[in-house]
Structure 1
Amino acid sequence: MNLDNWDDLKFVLAMQRHGTMSAAARFLDTNVATVSRRIERISQELDLPLFEKRGQGFVPTDAAKRLAEVAEGIDHELRGLLGNLQSNDVTGNIPIEIAAPPAVHSHYMFPRMMELSEVLPNILLTLTDKVFAQGLGEADIQIRIGRPEGGRLKARKFRDYALRVYHGAGHVLDGNWVGLSHRYPDADLLRDIYPDALPKPRYRVEEMPLVHQLVRQTGLPGVLPDFMVKDGDGLVLADLPENCVDGELWITYHETRHSDANLRAVVDWLCKPVHEARNVA
């Protein structure tokens, strides 16, 4: 491979992350023809195929995965270096992107945003929704369900939680329920806890915060993480045996960012108890 073209690696990384040439082109602020040409050039230099067309998208070969892993390491190491250099500028903003399930954003992040502005005023935070733990992508930090296995990731326990069936205080269980989209592996988890539920839910929605809203509005039962249910919601725990599925939330970031003082400060702040975070000067 010609080292003069080492920046072709970013096109391989974008293709693996986004799955189509059009999506990779949008992310890289270029056009599909450029993405295609750069991928083809590195493929010819290596004499190896890098992506296989599958339907509307592309699947990376083993060679592409290995190249993308190298490119991802370079990407995160550069972000960490730039962040540390910028930290000397007290007037500058340091961008940090956190990817997490929407329920985590709405119940752990949104209420504490003003605290973060006080504790780490130079951090310019971006929150992106990611329910499935398919890697960091463009994010600097990911809060994910379950501890990651393998890969070049640092992991830190964030919270324990439990999934339980809740319903409106005045509702009598009659088999109807609220479920998640079938994009979720556990879309029908409620039926494992509530065997008398009808085979299909009365309503399906895309995200857990929508389940929470719909359970509150209709009174119908739905599976919710316990951290979402608060006093005043008008919800009660369903009287069902073994109404609990334990889970864990973990914070992950690329191992090359371990010396990134800004990223570590955000992770440390995230892991502080709420009352302690409020008292940090």
Structure 2
Amino acid sequence: MHWDDLRFFLAVARLGQLSRASVVLGVDATTVGRRIRRLELRLEQRLFEQTRDGHVLTEAGEHLMTRAEAIEQSISEVESGPAGDTQLAGLIRISASEGFGTWLLAHHIGSFVEAYPGIRVDLVANNGFLSPSKREADVAILLARPRTGPLISKKVSDYVLRPYASHAYLQRHGPIRDVDALRSHCLIGYIPEFVYAPELLYMDEIAPDLEPTIRSSSINAQYRMAAAGVGVAVLPCFIGDADPSLARILPELHINRSFWLVTHQQTRQMARIQAFVEWITELSRQRRDRMMGNLRQCAPEDDR
């Protein structure tokens, strides 16, 4: 068995489609398909099931992926030179919520790649998650602990959400003194049909039948609208408190949520995955006060 065949196999297994794998590998999709078929013939096993959504690993494919990733790690260590933490190499694909990915990881990931220059990082930060159990990602930062699958999970951080409005909005519309008063304001929230995790459906936790006036699938879009003075948005404190143009309102109102770090059982022991898990755990510990909203007080008296 040639390593180059395994390299093609890993690309398809991780990306799920021949066309996507071909872009990463720098060849056409026909070549990728031919290499996969050659590997299956050599092993006398079917490695993928072709579905409407792409190529999904069979049980034989899952077993081969574990062995192929171990070989990939060994090759990376040889190519990177003498052993040592700073010599770790290879690719880590991280799936995270849009908020965590853009407001925490994107701000600090530079310190990780500086510490481990041989490691390449794919950061997938959008509305939805890639699955570690399907090997779509090496690490996922989820809003809830998975209940099934060959996964290892741990809570990486709690965080708090609060309602925010811009100082300009409050000056135009007056103070918001209680939850019932929210019904007379422009509320910004999620589109229920496009919510990818039930933990994001928190309007009913604020008040029954509270409906947003403007809805977006993007937390960053919601933040931008609040900062532009469009209305009131419920934001994680690590987003809302970062913008001095926004004021917290209703100090008694807060919503608690958690981020969970999830990896596959068979890849968690890989050195580069362990290095990232340790790094993000320490980063979250250092940023705990910001995640919990402990670094800022509520709106000044003249905004209430």
- Calculate the TM-score normalised by the size of structure 1: 0.68
Counterpart CA distance in 2 for 1:139 and 1:176 is 34
Distance change >3 Å, CA 220–CA 256, structure 1 → 2: same
**Structure 2 unaligned spans of 5+:** 174-181, 289-304
Residue by residue over 1:32-76, the C-alpha shift from the partner in whole angstroms, topping out at 9 and shown as x without a partner, is: 11111122223334253622231x633333333333333334334
Distance change >3 Å, CA 247–CA 117, structure 1 → 2: closer
Distance change >3 Å, CA 8–CA 95, structure 1 → 2: closer
Counterpart CA distance in 2 for 1:140 and 1:184 is 20
1:196 equivalent among 209, 213, 227 = 209
Residue 65 of structure 1: aligned partner: 62
Measured on the aligned residues, the alpha-carbon RMSD in Å equals 4.3
1:37 equivalent among 16, 34, 37 = 34
After superposing the two structures, state which structure 1 stretch, 140-149 or 157-166, moved more. Answer: 140-149
Residue 250 of structure 1: aligned partner: 261
Q: Is the 8 A contact 1:177 1:220 kept in 2?
A: yes
Counterpart CA distance in 2 for 1:64 and 1:272 is 37
Task: Report the secondary structure of 2:222's partner residue.
Answer: helix
Counterpart CA distance in 2 for 1:149 and 1:113 is 28
Counterpart CA distance in 2 for 1:162 and 1:65 is 38
Distance change >3 Å, CA 18–CA 95, structure 1 → 2: closer
Aligned residues: 265
**Structure 1 unaligned spans of 5+:** 276-281
Q: Is the 8 A contact 1:84 1:262 kept in 2?
A: no
Residue 156 of structure 2: aligned partner: 158
Quote the offset at 1:212 in angstroms: 1.5
After superposing the two structures, state which structure 1 stretch, 35-44 or 186-195, moved more. Answer: 186-195
Counterpart CA distance in 1 for 2:251 and 2:278 is 42
2:49 equivalent among 36, 48, 51 = 51
Distance change >3 Å, CA 145–CA 96, structure 1 → 2: farther
Counterpart CA distance in 2 for 1:106 and 1:261 is 22
Residue 107 of structure 1: aligned partner: 103
Counterpart CA distance in 2 for 1:59 and 1:261 is 26
Counting aligned pairs with the same residue, the percent is 22
Q: Is the 8 A contact 1:179 1:201 kept in 2?
A: no
Distance change >3 Å, CA 71–CA 269, structure 1 → 2: same
Quote the offset at 1:79 in angstroms: 4.0
